[in-house]
A and B are shown apart, each in its own frame.
Chain A
């Protein structure tokens, strides 16, 4: 196993801002889910969501997504100056639509010149442009938009670029809450009326969230030359398509299984070496069932410890893969596997070795993170500790 070095982490979510706050939240089982307050939609209830504290983003940037991305990316860079031409890879589902949807709803698709600034950051690619310009990063810019696997793919691709000779890559993702996704997931009947309960026999859907997370990936020599500490490693990336249905996962989880196998093969790791799985674990009945079948098919009993952190952050869509990548790195470094917040009565049909309440303190070597987007976009990342 030869992983790509991770030398910086940044994260902002409904739990707060920064890795320490998040690790503490995972240790204590604190949940960042509260009734929606960012906007109101007449006719829809203010369900629990993982909404970022307004004080963290207020006045930072006209686009909430850009503000979130800047906050997390700055943490990952930690004021370091990166030499050479690298890669900025961003995953996002809806980009700057929180603002542009306001323009539409006011002007119903007409010019609306008086409010045109609301359209400025609508293109998904604009986030990478702002990050690069604001943070002084030169090189290639990519924006991946594969729904819930967007930022996992951004990180996987960033690591592939390092392996191909790039000196560094800032990779991660962002999505803000917006009317489109809140109303859209309601239309799909996928929202839980209570804070989500991944893997619970009484689960009834997902809780949306927002936020951003970024990792700084570096070539060994580049990291060594600037004295950077290696926090963990991206060891493998697998990416597959279900080719089954636009909103439902393959019922047997075949695409998810293929993604996990591809990531393990890329890492040169056997399934039996995986100690912890950060599951996609959205808490929708169909997703959890499909992932359960895939995990059960891959790992010999008793299998690795499994938990979902979406009970803590909500489902942050395009940012979820990057957030959970950060959680995997923190988990390996701390030797602590977090429990699934909201899980009280495990669904007996899911063959997981759940992390018990309170979490598990253990020596963890390899972690695997699943991100499965609708449209059948599956991505899995494999992480290892800094010395492996």
Chain B
């Protein structure tokens, strides 16, 4: 089935922003003022992906987040720690749940179609993309807006530091949105594959585990000419580089992890970046976006420029 990319949106740190989104998108709707930082990033990306005036009543939404409203969770817990369990903030509680941005998106966009929220650690966005293609493939939706967002919080950073995680210094935040449809378009999601490996809960898949899918998605004959690497850690980057050394001719490699920072939604930001990259490239160009998650998850997404 054809899955076309009809719109792209991104809320990402600037080059000098050290992985943090310093300027949240300006949102015209006054209701947005009451939203959390996470929700505003998600809405900002979503609005950028939607063509002006598009009918959104039957639009399906698939939202993804690794950690959800963690700042609101911390606010709520801080409230019960300082004021007592009887005085938790109802607002912080409702904003703490993973699907809170999806609820806000459906309200702001007036969308009554399917609304799903996915969480899959560092491949949350890619997981949502796969679910969206299933909704399209099974005729449950004509158009699906995929949005992924994660926010930097001191609580999360402290958690990464507690485990001496190498990604802690580059922990980032941001949001991405992709509007998908079944009608033909200049960009397509040609492939969206998820798999998983038996793996300790705080480890990434090994080189041997990640090799088959990464090679299958980039081998000669696939027409893939560039690849965006997960680079979730130094060891992961070395493993990915080692596997890709088997691919001839060599692929152009993109390492968006550097500007985007490391976070659970960064995969969908990289998919958006890949789509922008191939859109600026000759027709036929394709980029494979490789994702890895702690606990064993692996994804491979291929976006292609199908016509000039």
Contacts and interface: CB of A to CB of B under 8 A. Distances in A.
A binds B: yes
Interface of A: 41-44, 85, 93-95, 97, 101, 104-105, 107-113, 116, 119-126, 128-130, 132-133, 136, 138-147, 153, 157, 160-161, 163-164, 179-180, 182-188, 239-247, 255, 258, 373-377
Contacts of B131: 142, 157
Nearest to B59: A241
Contact of B110 (A128, A143, A243): A243
Given A41-B80, A240-B114, A123 B67 contact: yes
Contacts of B85: 41-44, 179, 182-183, 186
Given A145-B98, A180-B77, A132 B196 contact: yes
Contacts of A95: 119
Contacts of A93: 97-98
B130 A258 contact: no
Contacts of B88: 183-184, 186-187
B114 A142 contact: no
B134 A141 contact: no
A119 B94 CA distance: 22
Contacts of A113: 162
Contacts of B154: 109
B106 A243 contact: yes
B58 to A, nearest CB: 10
Interface in B50-92: 61, 66-68, 73-74, 76-78, 80-81, 84-90
Given A129-B201, A132-B296, A186-B88, A123 B73 contact: no
A125 B199 contact: no
A180 B73 contact: yes
Contacts of B158: 107, 109-112
Given A109-B74, A142-B127, A157 B202 contact: no
The 8 closest A-B pairs by CB, nearest first: A375-B103, A129-B295, A184-B93, A41-B85, A241-B115, A145-B98, A241-B106, A43-B86
Contacts of B297: 125, 129, 141
B104 interface: yes
A376 B201 contact: no
B194 interface: yes
5 contacts: A104-B155, A140-B130, A142-B131, A146-B116, A183-B76
The majority secondary structure among interface residues of chain A is mixed
Interface in B258-300: 264, 293-297
B66 A246 contact: no
A243 B111 contact: yes
Nearest to A161: B134
Given A160-B138, A180-B76, A376-B103, A119 B120 contact: no
Contacts of B107: 243-246, 376
Contacts of A239: 114-116, 140
Nearest to A189: B90
A101 B109 CA distance: 33
B137 interface: yes
| A42, A160, A180, most chain B CB atoms within 10 A | A180
B116 A144 contact: yes
A113 to B, nearest CB: 5
Contact of A108 (B78, B104, B109, B138): B78
Interface residues of B, number: 71
A104 B88 CA distance: 15
Contacts of B100: 246, 375
A44 B80 CA distance: 11
B118 A112 contact: no
B118 A108 contact: no
A128 B198 CA distance: 11
B86 A186 contact: yes
A164 B78 CA distance: 45
Contacts of A120: 201-202
B307 interface: no
A123 B118 contact: no
B99 A146 contact: yes
B66 A123 contact: yes
B120 A125 contact: yes
Contact of B296 (A41, A129, A143, A160): A129
Nearest to B100: A375
A146 B117 contact: yes
| B104, B113, B114, most chain A CB atoms within 10 A | B114
B99 A375 contact: yes
A164 B196 CA distance: 19
B195 interface: yes
Interface in B29-61: 61
B22 interface: no
Contacts of B81: 104-105, 108
Interface string B221-251: 0000000000000000000000000000000
A110 B159 CA distance: 8
Given A164-B138, A376-B103, A241 B120 contact: no
Contacts of A141: 120, 194, 196, 296-297
A273 B89 CA distance: 45
B182 to A, nearest CB: 15
Contacts of A110: 158
A104 B198 contact: no
A104 B77 contact: yes
B84 A43 contact: yes
B97 A145 contact: yes
A105 B196 contact: no
Contacts of A161: 134
Nearest to A237: B140
Given A183-B80, A241-B106, A241-B115, A143 B159 contact: no
